[in-house]
Protein backbone atom coordinates (compact mmCIF):
# COMPACT_ATOMS: atom_id res chain seq x y z
CA UNK A 1 0.00 0.00 0.00
CA UNK A 2 2.84 2.27 0.91
CA UNK A 3 4.43 1.84 -2.49
CA UNK A 4 1.14 2.57 -4.25
CA UNK A 5 0.50 5.86 -2.42
CA UNK A 6 4.10 6.85 -3.03
CA UNK A 7 3.56 6.17 -6.72
CA UNK A 8 0.35 8.16 -6.88
CA UNK A 9 1.92 11.05 -5.04
CA UNK A 10 4.76 11.09 -7.55
CA UNK A 11 2.45 11.09 -10.55
CA UNK A 12 0.62 13.90 -8.88
CA UNK A 13 3.78 15.92 -8.58
CA UNK A 14 4.74 15.27 -12.18
CA UNK A 15 1.35 16.44 -13.36
CA UNK A 16 1.45 19.57 -11.23
CA UNK A 17 4.97 20.26 -12.50
CA UNK A 18 3.90 19.85 -16.11
CA UNK A 19 0.96 22.18 -15.56
CA UNK A 20 3.21 24.78 -13.98
CA UNK A 21 5.59 24.51 -16.93
CA UNK A 22 2.72 24.92 -19.38
CA UNK A 23 1.49 28.01 -17.53
CA UNK A 24 4.97 29.49 -17.53
CA UNK A 25 5.42 28.85 -21.24
CA UNK A 26 2.09 30.48 -21.94
CA UNK A 27 2.86 33.41 -19.67
CA UNK A 28 6.17 34.11 -21.41
CA UNK A 29 5.47 33.17 -24.99
CA UNK A 30 2.01 34.56 -25.52
CA UNK A 31 2.82 38.21 -24.64
CA UNK A 32 5.80 38.07 -27.05
CA UNK A 33 3.67 36.76 -29.89
CA UNK A 34 0.71 38.99 -29.19
CA UNK A 35 0.96 42.35 -30.88
CA UNK A 36 0.45 45.37 -28.68
CA UNK A 37 -2.56 47.23 -30.03
CA UNK A 38 -1.64 50.59 -31.53
CA UNK A 39 -3.70 52.59 -29.08
CA UNK A 40 -1.66 51.22 -26.18
CA UNK A 41 1.61 52.29 -27.78
CA UNK A 42 0.56 55.90 -27.79
CA UNK A 43 -0.53 56.00 -24.18
CA UNK A 44 1.65 53.35 -22.58
CA UNK A 45 4.62 54.03 -20.39
CA UNK A 46 6.91 53.45 -23.37
CA UNK A 47 5.40 55.33 -26.28
CA UNK A 48 6.57 53.67 -29.46
CA UNK A 49 5.88 56.00 -32.29
CA UNK A 50 9.35 55.57 -33.77
CA UNK A 51 8.27 54.97 -37.38
CA UNK A 52 6.16 58.11 -37.34
CA UNK A 53 8.91 60.12 -35.65
CA UNK A 54 11.55 58.96 -38.13
CA UNK A 55 9.27 60.35 -40.86
CA UNK A 56 9.21 63.70 -39.04
CA UNK A 57 13.02 63.79 -38.98
CA UNK A 58 13.18 62.79 -42.64
CA UNK A 59 10.93 65.66 -43.70
CA UNK A 60 13.11 68.49 -42.33
CA UNK A 61 14.26 71.05 -44.93
CA UNK A 62 17.61 70.66 -46.71
CA UNK A 63 19.89 73.72 -46.63
CA UNK A 64 23.13 72.54 -48.20
CA UNK A 65 22.04 71.59 -51.71
CA UNK A 66 24.16 69.41 -53.94
CA UNK A 67 27.01 71.38 -55.57
CA UNK A 68 26.20 70.07 -59.06
CA UNK A 69 23.15 72.37 -59.03
CA UNK A 70 25.47 75.40 -59.07
CA UNK A 71 26.70 74.43 -62.53
CA UNK A 72 23.34 75.33 -64.08
CA UNK A 73 23.97 79.06 -63.65
CA UNK A 74 27.67 79.43 -62.87
CA UNK A 75 29.23 77.44 -65.72
CA UNK A 76 32.38 79.58 -65.82
CA UNK A 77 33.26 79.24 -62.14
CA UNK A 78 32.15 75.65 -62.09
CA UNK A 79 34.16 74.84 -65.19
CA UNK A 80 37.51 76.04 -63.84
CA UNK A 81 36.76 74.75 -60.34
CA UNK A 82 36.00 71.27 -61.62
CA UNK A 83 39.49 70.85 -63.06
CA UNK A 84 41.38 72.53 -60.22
CA UNK A 85 43.03 71.42 -57.00
CA UNK A 86 40.06 72.98 -55.19
CA UNK A 87 37.58 70.62 -56.84
CA UNK A 88 37.41 68.60 -53.63
CA UNK A 89 35.88 71.62 -51.89
CA UNK A 90 32.14 71.97 -52.34
CA UNK A 91 31.02 75.44 -53.48
CA UNK A 92 28.93 75.72 -50.33
CA UNK A 93 31.91 74.97 -48.14
CA UNK A 94 33.17 78.48 -48.96
CA UNK A 95 29.90 80.25 -49.86
CA UNK A 96 27.57 78.78 -47.22
CA UNK A 97 24.28 76.90 -47.63
CA UNK A 98 22.71 77.49 -51.04
CA UNK A 99 19.06 76.71 -50.44
CA UNK A 100 17.92 80.31 -49.88
CA UNK A 101 20.05 81.43 -52.88
CA UNK A 102 18.20 78.99 -55.13
CA UNK A 103 14.71 79.54 -53.79
CA UNK A 104 14.62 83.24 -52.93
CA UNK A 105 17.72 84.47 -54.77
CA UNK A 106 19.27 85.44 -51.42
CA UNK A 107 22.87 86.51 -51.83
CA UNK A 108 25.59 84.15 -50.68
CA UNK A 109 28.57 84.97 -48.55
CA UNK A 110 31.78 85.99 -50.35
CA UNK A 111 34.74 86.20 -48.01
CA UNK A 112 37.96 87.46 -49.56
CA UNK A 113 39.81 87.90 -46.26
CA UNK A 114 43.16 86.22 -45.78
CA UNK A 115 41.71 84.43 -42.75
CA UNK A 116 39.07 82.73 -44.89
CA UNK A 117 41.84 80.91 -46.76
CA UNK A 118 43.84 80.61 -43.55
CA UNK A 119 41.33 78.27 -41.90
CA UNK A 120 42.63 75.66 -44.31
CA UNK A 121 46.06 76.90 -45.35
CA UNK A 122 47.59 78.62 -42.29
CA UNK A 123 50.70 76.78 -41.16
CA UNK A 124 49.83 74.50 -38.23
CA UNK A 125 51.76 71.57 -36.76
CA UNK A 126 48.50 69.62 -36.39
CA UNK A 127 47.74 69.52 -40.11
CA UNK A 128 48.83 66.61 -42.30
CA UNK A 129 52.38 67.24 -43.50
CA UNK A 130 51.57 66.98 -47.22
CA UNK A 131 48.84 69.59 -47.14
CA UNK A 132 49.86 72.94 -48.74
CA UNK A 133 50.34 75.46 -45.94
CA UNK A 134 51.74 78.98 -45.80
CA UNK A 135 52.86 81.26 -43.01
CA UNK A 136 49.89 83.58 -42.96
CA UNK A 137 51.90 86.44 -41.45
CA UNK A 138 54.60 86.43 -44.15
CA UNK A 139 53.22 84.89 -47.35
CA UNK A 140 52.13 87.18 -50.17
CA UNK A 141 53.04 90.55 -48.60
CA UNK A 142 49.76 90.66 -46.68
CA UNK A 143 47.87 91.24 -49.93
CA UNK A 144 44.51 89.53 -50.37
CA UNK A 145 45.09 85.91 -51.29
CA UNK A 146 42.65 86.20 -54.18
CA UNK A 147 44.75 88.90 -55.84
CA UNK A 148 47.31 86.23 -56.72
CA UNK A 149 45.36 82.98 -56.47
CA UNK A 150 42.05 82.22 -58.11
CA UNK A 151 39.90 80.78 -55.30
CA UNK A 152 38.14 78.57 -57.84
CA UNK A 153 41.35 77.32 -59.44
CA UNK A 154 44.44 77.96 -57.35
CA UNK A 155 47.52 77.01 -59.29
CA UNK A 156 51.12 77.27 -58.34
CA UNK A 157 52.48 74.80 -60.84
CA UNK A 158 55.35 75.76 -63.10
CA UNK A 159 54.69 79.37 -64.05
CA UNK A 160 56.22 80.04 -67.49
CA UNK A 161 59.14 82.47 -67.53
CA UNK A 162 58.66 85.89 -69.11
CA UNK A 163 60.28 85.66 -72.54
CA UNK A 164 60.40 89.41 -73.16
CA UNK A 165 62.05 92.31 -71.38
CA UNK A 166 60.26 94.06 -68.52
CA UNK A 167 61.26 97.63 -69.39
CA UNK A 168 58.40 99.26 -71.21
CA UNK A 169 56.25 96.27 -70.51
CA UNK A 170 54.96 97.25 -67.06
CA UNK A 171 51.28 97.28 -68.05
CA UNK A 172 51.06 93.52 -68.41
CA UNK A 173 47.32 93.46 -68.95
CA UNK A 174 47.56 95.76 -71.96
CA UNK A 175 48.83 92.81 -73.95
CA UNK A 176 47.79 89.89 -71.73
CA UNK A 177 44.33 91.11 -70.76
CA UNK A 178 41.12 90.14 -72.48
CA UNK A 179 41.41 90.80 -76.21
CA UNK A 180 45.19 91.38 -75.99
CA UNK A 181 47.87 89.79 -78.16
CA UNK A 182 48.38 86.92 -75.76
CA UNK A 183 45.49 86.74 -73.31
CA UNK A 184 45.99 84.98 -69.99
CA UNK A 185 44.02 81.80 -69.36
CA UNK A 186 40.48 82.29 -68.10
CA UNK A 187 41.24 80.79 -64.70
CA UNK A 188 43.99 83.39 -64.06
CA UNK A 189 43.84 86.00 -61.39
CA UNK A 190 44.65 89.27 -63.13
CA UNK A 191 45.09 92.16 -60.74
CA UNK A 192 48.08 94.26 -61.76
CA UNK A 193 51.68 93.52 -62.44
CA UNK A 194 52.84 93.09 -58.81
CA UNK A 195 50.96 89.88 -58.62
CA UNK A 196 52.07 88.71 -62.06
CA UNK A 197 55.70 89.02 -61.10
CA UNK A 198 55.31 87.03 -57.89
CA UNK A 199 54.79 83.95 -60.06
CA UNK A 200 56.35 84.82 -63.41
CA UNK A 201 60.05 85.64 -63.40
CA UNK A 202 62.22 86.96 -66.14
**DSSP per-residue codes, 114-134:** HHHHHHHHB--TTS-TTS--B
Binding mask 133-152 for ligand HEC (x = CB under 6 A): -x-x--xxx-x-xxxxx-xx
> Per CB under 8 A, does 11 bind another protein?
no
Q: Which of residues 96-115 bind another protein (CB under 8 A)?
A: 96-97
Instruction: Using CB under 6 A, pick the residue from 11, 48, 102, 127 that binds ligand HEC.
Output: 102
> Per CB under 6 A, does 184 bind ligand HEC?
yes
Sorted by sequence, the CB contacts under 8 Å of residue 135 that are 6+ apart come out as 122, 123
Nearest to 84 by CA among 185, 161, 173: 185
Nearest to 93 by CA among 75, 111, 105: 111
For 36, which DSSP code?
Answer: P
Instruction: Using CB under 8 A, pick the residue from 126, 138, 165, 167 that binds another protein.
Output: 126
- The torsion angles phi and psi of 134, rounded to 5 degrees, stand at -130, 155
Q: Which of residues 31-70 bind another protein (CB under 8 A)?
A: 33-39, 41, 45-51, 53-54, 57-64, 66-67
Stretch that binds ligand HEC, among 10-18, 30-38, 42-50, 168-176 (CB under 6 A): 168-176
The item of another protein, ligand HEC, none sharing an interface with residue 85, based on CB under 5 to 8 Å by kind, is: ligand HEC
| Cβ 202 vs Cβ 166: under 8 Å | yes
> Per CB under 6 A, does 55 bind ligand HEC?
no
| Cβ 114 vs Cβ 136: under 8 Å | yes
Gyration radius of the chain over CA positions:
37
Residues in contact with another protein by CB under 8 A are 15, 19, 22-23, 26, 30, 33-39, 41, 45-51, 53-54, 57-64, 66-67, 86, 88-90, 92-93, 96-97, 118-120, 122-128, 131, 135-137
Amino acid sequence: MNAETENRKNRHLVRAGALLLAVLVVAFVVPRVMPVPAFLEDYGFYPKRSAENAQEWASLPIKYVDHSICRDCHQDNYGVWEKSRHSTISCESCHGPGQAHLEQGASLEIDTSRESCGVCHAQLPSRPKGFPQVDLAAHGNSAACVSCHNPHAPQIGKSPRIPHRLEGHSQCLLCHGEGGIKPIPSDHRAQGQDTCLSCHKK
